[in-house]
Chain A
Amino acid sequence: MQLTETLSQYRAPPEIESGRRRVPVIVVGAGPVGLCAAIDLGLQNVQTLVLDADDSLSEGSRAICFAKRTLEILDRLGCGERAVSKGVVWNTGKVFLQDRMLYQFDLLPESGHKRPAFINLQQHYLEQFLVERLHTLPRGELRFRNRVTAVAQHPDRVEVTVETPDGRYVIECDYLVACDGARSPMRQALGLESKGQVFRDRFLIADVKMRAGFPTERWFWFDPPFHRNQSVLLHRQADDIWRIDFQLGWDANPEEERKPERVMPRIQAMLGPDAKFTLEWVSVYTFQCRRMDRFRHGRVLFAGDAAHQVSPFGARGANSGIQDTDNLAWKLKLIVDGRAPDTLLDSYDAERRPAADENILHSTRSTDFITPKSGISRAFRDATLQLAEHHAFARSLVNSGRLSTPSTYSTSPLNTPDGDAFGARMRPGAPAIDAPLDSRDGASWLIDQIGGRFDLLYFTGTQAVSETMRNTFESLRRLPVPVETLIISAQGVRADIGRFFEDVDGLFAERYDARSGTAYLLRPDQHVCARWRRFDAASIRKAQARALAAETETEVAK
């Protein structure tokens, strides 16, 4: 996949002539994770330079399933609509044993959300949309064929040596975000490791172009007639491309299996003798579940596969990487601007490490089910599958991948623990759940109204908003780190003022357990950091200071 010439064009970096320069943030790696980091920072006016050793987008399908939460982040970054229109939307998965269906599941069984559970989209399309988006931002710069060859950390800066076709240059930054993939040269350059488990199994991925009658669903087979004793996964992508993953077993020879004369008969057996298709891309992979001990090393932050790796079952790789940058970008912005202490970055590690552990746990469990490691493990797996055909209870034990859901930062030091009783599924640390809203400007979604700054969701119910309350909202807007209030009224109550929204289907009240006077404070990444049944400006200032890792409120204002 090629970018337009303008976007991929290499230019001699000016620093080769002009000498060293300093930028606030350097991102290493222009995959989906690095590009999201750079766009997020660029949107917040932080000058960001992305360096990538390569000069093309990724090949083949690679990451293909993008989850609801990722789409909401992409919306905030201005790429969600393009991704969703190009991708194929799906909510349903089906699991088969041999020649029959065991059960199906719906990943988004309720309505009232802007985005679906998942879209499938080839990674290179997402990368293209992200590169084009970054290009529109005056504060973001992307340099291909700029390979980082050395990195040196100092108390006040990071020094990066970059090799280009025109020679070498040195550039400095306040912070470096390493998004350079599973093998991460940055990680190696700093002498760090990512530790965990290697799985003794091999999978063949084939991207096949065909017109086929399969519905747009995730289909997973255990022991199908066309590939005995192994598993097969089928996903539809954009442009009539279908992604098929064949489990091969550990003893398979990757070089042999990759050859078209081996691959084509496998696919023909699956699709039937009359199926017409062409093979677009093929690859054999193994996988690991592992992570670094810490994601922050001084002024260097690791994100995505560089920091943590999972098996592909569950679509937790690219999705969690993009959620890393969602967590990191606003923190870097406030630190670079001197609005939050450098220790706020410790919370990136404190929040995203448990998130990685959660993903690794799910991914390891799926892999243990798909690839049993012992005879007894295989017996339990087969017993589960056979029981699942007739008994509902066993279907809940079948694990063909537990699909990516966002992490709740329940143990985060940035959360203010609840002082009031709440019953809903929202809680401090959780990402905001979407709900449909209505306003004088028409129908909208909660998720489109928040993010990129601190937001206060104030549910006024059927009450009018008092003058005192309005003054409080105004004072919050004037804080050193502003808090914008979004007033939400009960279903059926309209008011034509300011940022005033009606909970048009009553879903906000339900999902947030909101009554008149309930308020939620959201961080710039749309995660809840505090909530109240009754609040005053002082409690909000205090909660915000905590969410900024500031010792006192005055520290925020310095």
Chain B
Amino acid sequence: MTIRLDPNIEAPDDFYQALIDTHRDLDEAQSQLVNAKLILLLANHIGDMQVLREALRLAREDGVQLLRSQEI
């Protein structure tokens, strides 16, 4: 299976708000722990190693590009 990159969440604004609300009143360290748990829970739900690798690659590539553009 390949990773889905077309819109797949029915109510994107609701999800985004729920994600941000999950972190309300948490400090950086607590947020980091919550994020880590979230990734682990979702990764297990997905299960497919090919999809997971693809997601890991995309996340890192975008992140590195962002850092590069900030340097300029």
* Distance of A249 Cα from B60 Cα, bound (Å): 30
Q: Does A213 touch B at the CB level, under 8 Å?
A: no
The distance in angstroms between the C-alpha atoms of A417 and B42, with both chains bound, is: 40
Instruction: Name the residue of chain B whose CB is nearest to the CB of A376.
Output: B32
A382 touches B36 (CB 8 A): yes
Q: Does A479 contact B (CB under 8 A)?
A: no
Q: Name the residue on B nearest A377 (C-beta).
A: B36
Which residues of B in the span 15-57 have a Cβ within 8 Å of any Cβ on A?
29, 32-33, 35-37, 39-41, 44
Query: Whose C-beta in chain A lies nearest to the C-beta of B44?
Result: A393
Cβ B32 vs Cβ A394 within 8 A: no
Contact check, B33 vs A394: say whether CB atoms are below 8 A apart: no
> In the assembled complex, how far is the CB of residue A128 from the closest CB belonging to chain B, in whole angstroms?
47
A382 contact from B33, B39, B41, Cβ within 8 A: B33
Are B36 and A383 in contact, with the CB atoms below 8 A?
yes
Most-contacted residue by chain B among A379, A384, A387, A397 (CB, 10 A): A379
Contacts of B35 in A (CB 8 A): 379
Hey, which chain B residues are within 8 Å of A383, CB to CB? 33, 36-37, 40
- A387 in contact with B41 (CB, 8 Å): yes
- Chain A interface residue number, banded: 10 to 19
B30 CB to closest chain A CB (Å) equals: 10
Across-interface contacts of A391 in B (CB, < 8 A): 41
- Nearest Cβ on chain B to A394's Cβ, whole angstroms: 6
Query: Is A149 an interface residue, CB under 8 A from the partner?
Result: no
Instruction: Give every chain B residue within 8 A of A376 (Cβ-Cβ).
Output: 32, 36
Please report the total number of B residues contacting A with Cβ < 8 Å. 10
Check B40–A397 contact: CB distance below 8 A: yes
Complex Cα gap A391–B37 (Å): 11
What residues of chain A lie closer than 8 Å to B32, measured between beta carbons? 375-376, 379
B residues in contact with A379, CB < 8 Å: 29, 32-33, 35-36
Contact partners of A375 in chain B: CB under 8 A: 32
A384 — which chain B residues lie within 8 A by C-beta?
36, 40
A397 to B33, CA, bound (A): 16
Chain A: minimal CB distance from B38 (Å)? 9
Chain A residues with CB under 8 Å of B44's CB are 393-394
- Flag whether A386 is at the interface (Cβ < 8 A): yes
Whether A535 is near chain B, meaning CB under 8 Å from some CB there, is no
Closest-CB distance, A383 to chain B (whole angstroms)? 4
Contact A394 B36 (CB under 8 A): no
Write the chain A residue with the least CB distance to B34.
A383
Interface string of A407-432 (1 = CB under 8 A from B): 00000000000000000000000000
Nearest Cβ distance between residue A475 and chain B, in whole angstroms? 49
B-chain residues with CB within 8 Å of residue A393 when the two chains form the complex: 44
A394 to B40, CA, bound (A): 8
- CB B64 to nearest CB in A, in angstroms, measures 15
**Distance in angstroms between the alpha carbons of A241 and B32 in the assembled complex:** 42
The reply on A380 being an interface residue by CB < 8 A is: yes
Residues of A contacting B39 with CB < 8 Å?
A: 380
Residue of B29, B36, B44 contacting most chain A CB atoms (<10 Å): B36
Give residues of chain A (349-390) contacting chain B, Cβ–Cβ below 8 Å: 375-376, 379-380, 382-384, 386-387
A380-B33 Cα distance, complex, nearest whole Å: 7
**Chain B residue with the shortest CB-CB distance to A392:** B44
Q: How far is the CA of A382 from the CA of B39 in the complex (A)?
A: 13
CA of A385 to CA of B2, assembled, Å: 30
| Residues of chain B contacted by A380 (CB below 8 angstroms) | 36, 39-40
- Chain B residue numbers with a CB within 8 Å of A387 are 37, 40-41
- CA–CA, A394 and B33, complex, Å: 14
Q: How far is the CA of A391 from the CA of B42 in the complex (A)?
A: 13
Contacts of B41 in A (CB 8 A): 387, 391
Chain A: CB-nearest residue to B41: A387
Q: Which residues of A contact B37 (CB under 8 A)?
A: 383, 386-387
Least Cβ–Cβ distance between A140 and chain B, in angstroms: 49
Q: Which of B33, B37, B39, B41 has the most CB of A within 10 A?
A: B37
Binding site for B on A (CB under 8 A): 375-376, 379-380, 382-384, 386-387, 391, 393-394, 397
Partner-A contacts on B (CB < 8 A):
29, 32-33, 35-37, 39-41, 44
The 6 closest A-B pairs by CB, nearest first: A383-B36, A393-B44, A383-B37, A379-B32, A379-B36, A380-B36
Please name 17 further chain A to chain B contacts, defined as beta carbons within 8 Å, in addition to the given A376-B32, A384-B40, sorted by A numbering. A375-B32, A376-B36, A379-B29, A379-B33, A379-B36, A380-B36, A380-B39, A382-B33, A382-B36, A383-B36, A386-B33, A386-B37, A387-B40, A387-B41, A391-B41, A393-B44, A394-B44
